């Protein structure tokens, strides 16, 4: 996949622009605070419908304006296509090939992976940060998973309401409970399969790029305890058993104590938890190894190469790690959007950014 061009209107501090991109490397250069990250955010937002900087729509709309939009033409292995997102302070509207669609249909049309300084939170942040990341990455390649997550979230709200009202004798509670177990099992199974597949790539990529002597693994900390290779039926049975064990406590507390909303993911470097024992450089390298493992996962699942974004590479990596990363992409047929405060020794289309203006 390659993004050919993009139109954006009223996006943050950026000038309204039509930008044409190179099919391989696109380099955004400028001092800090000029708008480099905002351009990458605009690309990511148009592809995913989400920002990697904020969850509030109004923060992306240029000051003094009430709506914003971005439009991308891209090419996959089949044809030329387009997607767009339009936003006001209350709502987002999605389109594909100029026809309105729902977010469920929009998700995964064009696959993109971002690497930004804030990604260090994947290691040092809360379990909810890791769940959100892995849930989105799984859903990019498997839109069915997103529907399972929506069902779990909806059923969890029903379940919690009955628990809060101490109304678990109502027959509807048991109906919701059975549906919750069904979709929670599907989510857990998808997560297990994903972790198994990505872990095979993770250590290999870490060794090739950063440290050939250390082994990097990714663990899945399920609310069900240790799970190796269970069937869907076995997972459902474990959830039912867990529910029986916590039934009285859930009623006493008034909210759910079981479910995939309590899961976590753990990075281990040489069998030591990276959050506590790895250096800052190692943590950055771990996250990057994960991100490039996502490339191979998407290629395997969708037979398409995703777009890749790197923000602020000059200040985030030392010269050795930065050099290894650039060499990696020079060997791969991947479209790269990258920002830097200093020029890089790569063949690329260069865009110079100054106070929201783009020259390129």
Phi, psi at residue 272, to the nearest 5°?
-115, 140
* Residue 180: CA count within 13 A, CB half-sphere: 24
Is 32 annotated as contributing to ligand binding? yes
Whether 305 has a binding-site annotation, put simply, is no
Whole-number Å distance between alpha carbons of 325 and 313 = 9
Is 31 annotated as ligand-binding? yes
Q: Is 69 annotated as a binding residue?
A: no
DSSP classification of residue 90:
S
Residue 62 DSSP SS3? coil
Burial class of residue 67, CB neighbours in 10 A (0-12, 13-18, 19+): middle
Burial per residue of 278-314, b for 16 or more beta-carbon CB atoms within 10 angstroms, e otherwise: beeebbbbbbbbbbbbbbbbbeebbeebbbbbbbbbe
Known binder of ligand: residue 10? no
Q: How far apart are CA 328 and CA 251, in angstroms?
A: 53
Rounded Cα gap, residues 209 and 325, in angstroms: 7
Q: List the alpha helices (DSSP H) in 49-142.
A: 103-106, 121-124, 127-141
> Could you tell me the end-to-end alpha-carbon distance of the chain, in angstroms, rounded to an integer?
22
The dihedral built from the CA positions of residue 250, 231, 141 and 310, taken in this order, carries a sign that is: positive
**Which of 62, 61, 68, 105 shows the shortest CA–CA distance to 83?**
105
Please indicate if the annotation marks 281 as binding a ligand. no
- State the Cα–Cα distance between residues 349 and 83, nearest whole angstrom: 23
- Which residues belong to the annotated binding site for ATP? 30-37
- Which residues belong to the annotated binding site? 30-37
């Amino acid at each position: 996949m390659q993004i050919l061009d993009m139109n954006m209107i009223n996006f943050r501090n950026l000038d309204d622009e039509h930008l044409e991109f190179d099919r391989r490397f696109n380099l955004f250069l400028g001092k800090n605070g000029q708008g480099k990250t905002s351009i990458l955010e605009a690309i990511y937002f148009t592809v995913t419908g989400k920002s990697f900087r904020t969850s509030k729509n109004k923060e992306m709309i240029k000051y003094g304006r009430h709506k914003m939009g971005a439009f991308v033409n891209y090419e996959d292995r089949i044809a030329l296509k387009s997607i767009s997102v339009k936003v006001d302070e209350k709502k987002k509207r999605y389109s594909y090939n100029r026809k309105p669609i729902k977010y469920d249909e929009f998700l995964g049309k064009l696959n993109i992976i971002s690497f930004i300084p804030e990604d260090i939170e994947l290691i040092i942040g809360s379990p909810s940060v890791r769940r959100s990341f892995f849930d989105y990455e799984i859903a990019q390649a498997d839109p069915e998973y997103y529907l399972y997550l929506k069902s779990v979230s909806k059923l969890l709200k029903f379940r919690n309401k009955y628990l809060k009202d101490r109304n678990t004798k109502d027959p509807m509670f048991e109906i919701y409970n059975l549906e919750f177990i069904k979709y929670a099992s599907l989510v857990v199974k998808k997560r297990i399969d994903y972790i198994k597949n990505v872990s095979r790539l993770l250590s290999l990529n870490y060794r090739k790029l950063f440290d050939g002597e250390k082994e990097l693994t990714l663990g899945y900390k399920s609310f069900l305890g240790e799970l190796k290779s269970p069937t869907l039926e076995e997972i459902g049975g474990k959830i039912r058993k867990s529910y029986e064990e916590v039934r009285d406590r859930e009623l006493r507390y008034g909210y759910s104590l079981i479910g995939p909303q309590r899961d976590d993911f753990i990075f281990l470097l040489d069998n030591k938890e990276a959050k506590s024992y790895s250096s800052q450089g190692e943590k950055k390298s771990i996250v990057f190894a994960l991100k490039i493992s996502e490339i191979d996962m998407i290629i395997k699942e969708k037979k398409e190469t995703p777009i890749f974004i790197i923000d602020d590479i000059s200040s985030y990596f030392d010269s050795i790690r930065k050099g290894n990363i650039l060499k990696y992409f020079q060997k791969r047929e991947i479209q790269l959007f990258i920002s830097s405060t200093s020029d890089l020794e790569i063949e690329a289309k260069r865009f110079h950014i100054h106070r929201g203006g783009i020259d390129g």
